[in-house]
Structure 1
Amino acid sequence: MYLQRKIDVYLKEWKQDEHRRPLIVKGARQIGKTESIRKFAEENYKHVVEINFVEEPKYKMITSDGYGVQNIIKNISRLDPDKHFDPGSTLLFFDELQDFPEITTALKFFSMDGKYDVICSGSLLGINYRRIESNSVGYKQDFEMHSLDFEEFLWARGYGDDFVEDMLDHMKKLKAFSEVMMKICSELFIDYCILGGMPAVIRDYIEKGTFEGSLQTQRQLLADYEEDIRKYAEGMDQTRILNVFSHIPVQLARDNKKFQISKVASGARFKDYRGCIEWLKDAGVVNTCYCLHFPELPLKGNYDDTKLKLYFADSGLLVAMLDEEAQDDLRENKNLGVYKGSLYENVAAEALSKSGYGLYYFKKENSTLEEDFFIRTSSELIPLEVKAVNGRAKSLQTLIASDRYPDIKYGIKLVMGNIGYSGKIFTFPHFCCFLLKRYLKSVSLMEIVEKEG
């Protein structure tokens, strides 16, 4: 069972571009990179030469005579005479690039030669990406892939583009969803929160129609991520990275979700753990949300990189790390319990990151003023608050009303409730978060505020 992915459209557009360059598909492990590339390759090329540098380490010798196209093709043919190379109809697919990043030096020559299309893929590429970048700068394209977002989950459940467009239309018109629509979307979203977006988990869920086996699959993925840390991280950093990784759920469950290194280990200092956080971020395992110095534009450079929150890049990892009692309640009763605040916030961070937003929050010193996230348009800064229920948003109201924050004119609140608008605050259900970027591109919030008063 193949799951439709957003990369499918990108790969088709890449193939149609007569000036296409070798493509590097980046992303965390087991998010579906290889499966999507294989499907595209089978449908669009007469010959596909796939090389996996983990499963077939012998192919690391193909650059022994240099990085020229003919030298590499000659050496591949020596190792496997059955591989065919027809100019114009052959794709070379180098998988598990993290185990042999040296091959990227050849991308310049494949790009200049132009006879063969090349796609590279691998997990943990962020760890070695400076090296990859220097080897192939100007002669490649990059695509960042993630686990399934909520839209892709809807596709997997059989809901088409018209369903998503209807959701967006309701947002544009600030028109409340019907009771039936709310029930359908809310139930789908709760399922997505519990499962996360890893293809193996989603596929089992679709095929079985239940949560049977989902926890075991999530925990195996969790074990695989931990094994990657042991395999690819160096020295003492392995223990520190694993400690940071294991403490994320605990710290997200607290009211103050700021990640505190002092809670990770006795005597731990941020400067000793900064690299561990960067490692997890570069590996695509976590999303970092930085504290703004002040809620104003621009956002880049306007934050304290020592004050941050850590969210899992896929919420399924968070769910897999919860205690047994919570697991039973989640799957049997779809009750998020005491974890609903942290889970909703993690899913929102995940949706924003997958939409291309950087993650920022604000906490005013010696004050209760705190805001979960900020997103922006070309000229406006929009605070975003994630509520477990549809309650008051005191900090959001303060930011909008105060003259101290001139870049903020209105805000957005994500709740367990319907669409609404009041006091310059736009309210949307949690399940609409993945549409916020499209929504902000299609409407003028200022015009709506002036019209609604």
Structure 2
Amino acid sequence: MKRKIYDKLLEWKKNHKGDTALLIEGARRIGKSYIVEEFARKEYESYILVDFSKVNPQVMEFFNLYLDDLDMLFMNLELYFRRKLTPRQTKGEEARSLVIFDEVQFCPRARAAIKHLVADRRYDYIETGSLISIKKNVKDIMLPSEEHAIEMFPMDFEEFLWAMGDEMLMSYIRMRFDKRLPMEAFHRRAMDYFRQYLIVGGMPQAVQKYVETRDFEKVDEVKRDILALYRNDIHKYADNQETKVAAIFEEIPGQLQKHEKKFVLSALQSEARMRDYSQAFFWLSDAKIINCCYNSTEPSIGLKLNEERTTLKCYMGDTGLLISHAFDERGIVSADLYRKLMFDKLEVNEGMLVENIVAQMLRATGHKLYFFSNSSRTSAEDRMEIDFLIAKPITTSRHNISPIEVKSGQRYTLNSLRKCIAKYGSQLSTPYVLHDKDMKIEDGIVYMPLYMTPLL
């Protein structure tokens, strides 16, 4: 599977030349180990992969015993893995060998050792992991400042198109977006692909199964296995929070199918307060299982400054997983339901899926997630709900924030968006409506097909 993160790995190898280790964070089963080993195979003379989730405890002990004698540490690693490492000859040279610490969260001592290993300069180092920053995994260690961290996400829409054998469509979509032109004859084709992406999601195993079989039920089995893995992780690693974390996780579909998708804590427990559940939300967010979207009290520059963390929406990190999570009454999502989703015949729940995938796409392109909600009881003009707010990449004196409304049906109103434009016009950049129709511009609002979301 071709992944964009490969280019970031190349960039790191070329530009950093051993000054830092690379840390790749991301949810379980999104392909971190696969892409890093592929990179090691193609770009280095030799490599050693230490998978701390299943390695012999003896290997972990190497990091306790030999940090003050790196010659001994490397000799033991080479002997154990039966791989010869070749040190770099000069400081400015690109490394010839790579050491991969896979699932490094299981060996905090190895992560702490990065400081000494980078200073030694013999090899390059890549760490991968999930649950990187929860207390249990950083306890009693000094986090190395020599880490360059990047976040990895499920496959995005363009990567899905590549997997489906279409290398050209996204370039055309990008060109039409840049020129603000409708897709015309190719809109239907792009929407067909988008609906498949919505259903399958971006977990590489699920995408691969779909490419091989075109069988939604077989894909669903893969996704269900991943959900079972997540549930298992919650009970194993949530560290005295497992009951609360599990309760939030199971409640996500129910909260998203409401008209207002804000997470209502009373659904978990009467008189529940955010202070009691904030750690549980953080755990799920750190595990990259969910994408939290916080309320910004004003649609103006400095969304984080206006962030109200007690009011949030909680999206699944992958929409394909959300479908398997939401429609599991009989243990497996039926082919009939998938057919209805594919042909836009599902009468309910469509809105939550479309909003979830927009959140997923925005996160994958680097946006933090914010929405705007004002439930004023005194002024109808002030009462509004905007699905997402995103900031322009370059801040100017005015017009920095784009409000985004996500629409899933054929008929919809834009009351909140129009109120927002009327009240906050001087602070707003281009307002967008994301829908399943083609591109058009009307009354200063850009109406865009959903598959163009990654280009915002």
Rounded to whole Å, the distance in 1 between the matches of 2:60 and 2:200 is 37
Task: Report the Cα distance in structure 2 between the residues aligned to 1:134 and 1:99, rounded to whole angstroms.
Answer: 13
Q: Which amino acid aligns with 1:82?
A: R
Deviation by residue 1:3-60 (Cα, 9 ceiling, x = unmatched): 0001111112222225342111111100000000111111122221111112114211
Q: Where does residue 338 of structure 1 map in the other structure?
A: 348
Question: Of 211, 220, 232, which aligns to 1:215?
Answer: 220
Cα distance between partner residues in 2 of 1:417 and 1:328: 26
Which position in structure 2 is the counterpart of 1:168?
174
Q: 1:309 aligned to 2:337?
A: no
Deviates more, 1:213-222 or 1:315-324: 315-324
Structure 2 CA distance for partners of 1:430 and 1:376, relative to 1, 3 Å: same
Deviates more, 1:51-60 or 1:326-335: 326-335
What TM-score comes out, normalization by structure 2 length?
A: 0.89
How far apart are the structure 1 equivalents of 2:235 and 2:243?
8
2:375 aligns with 365
Give the whole-Å Cα distance in 2 for the aligned partners of 1:194 and 1:56.
35
Output the CA distance in 2 between the equivalents of 1:129 and 1:23: 21
1:199 to 198, 204, 214: 204
Asked if residue 374 in structure 1 is aligned to residue 389 in structure 2, the reply is yes
Matches for 1:247-326 after TM superposition, within 5 Å: 247-324=251-328
Alignment check: 8 A CA contact 1:28 1:284 kept: yes
List runs of 5+ in structure 2 lacking aligned partners.
89-95
Q: What is the match of residue 36 of structure 1?
A: 35
Question: SS of the residue aligned with 1:102?
Answer: helix
**40 and 400 in structure 1: CA distance in 2 versus 1, 3 angstrom threshold:** same
Secondary structure of the 1:347 match is helix
Cα displacement string for residues 83-109 of structure 1 (whole angstroms, at most 9, x for unaligned residues):
312213221111111111221222112
Judge conservation of contact 1:24–1:143 (CA < 8 Å) in 2: yes
- Shift in Å at residue 357 of structure 1? 0.5
Whether 1:422 aligns to 2:427 is no
**Secondary structure of 1:176's aligned partner:** coil
Match of 1:104 among 94, 111, 116: 111
TM-score, L = length of structure 1: 0.90
Amino acid at match of 1:394: N
Q: 1:84 to 1:293 in 2, by over 3 A?
A: same
Distance 2:219 2:169 in 1: 26
2:130/2:286 contact within 8 Å kept = no
**CA 254–91 in structure 1, closer or farther in 2 if over 3 Å, else same:** same
Choose which of 344, 348, 359 in structure 1 pairs with 2:358.
Answer: 348
Instruction: Tell me the percent identity.
Output: 31
**Offset of residue 282 of structure 1:** 0.8
In 1, the alpha carbon distance for the partners of 2:16 and 2:303 equals 36
- The whole-number CA distance in structure 1 between the counterparts of 2:81 and 2:441 is 66
Q: Secondary structure at the match of 2:49?
A: strand
Q: Which 4+ runs in 1 deviate beyond 6 A?
A: none
Greater percentage in helix: 1
Q: Residues 389, 141 of structure 1: CA spacing in aligned structure 2 closer, same or farther, 3 A cutoff?
A: same
AA matched with 2:326: L
| 2:148 counterpart (120, 141, 144) | 141
* 1:418 match: secondary structure: coil
**1:143: how far off?**
1.6
Whichever residue aligns with residue 399 of structure 1, its letter is: C
Verify the 8 A CA contact 1:67 1:105 in the aligned structure 2. Answer: no
Among residues 238, 245, 265, which one is paired with 2:242 in the alignment?
238
Superposed CA offset, 1:390-443 (max 9, x none): 5331111121123x452015400001101000111001011111111xxxxxxx
Q: Which range moves more in the overlay, 386-395 or 107-116? A: 386-395
> RMSD of the TM alignment (CA)?
2.0
Give distance in 2, aligned partners of 1:282 and 1:166. 35
Count matched residues: 429
Q: Which residue of 2 aligns with 1:383?
A: 403
**Contact 1:371 1:396 (8 Å CA) reproduced:** yes
Partner residue, 2:76: 75
Q: d(CA) in 2 for partners of 1:81 and 1:411? A: 55
C-alpha change, 1:128 and 1:270, in structure 2 (3 Å) is closer
Q: CA deviation at 1:126?
A: 3.3
Q: Structure 2 counterpart of 1:365, which letter?
A: S
Question: Contact 1:49/1:92 (CA < 8 Å) preserved in 2?
Answer: yes
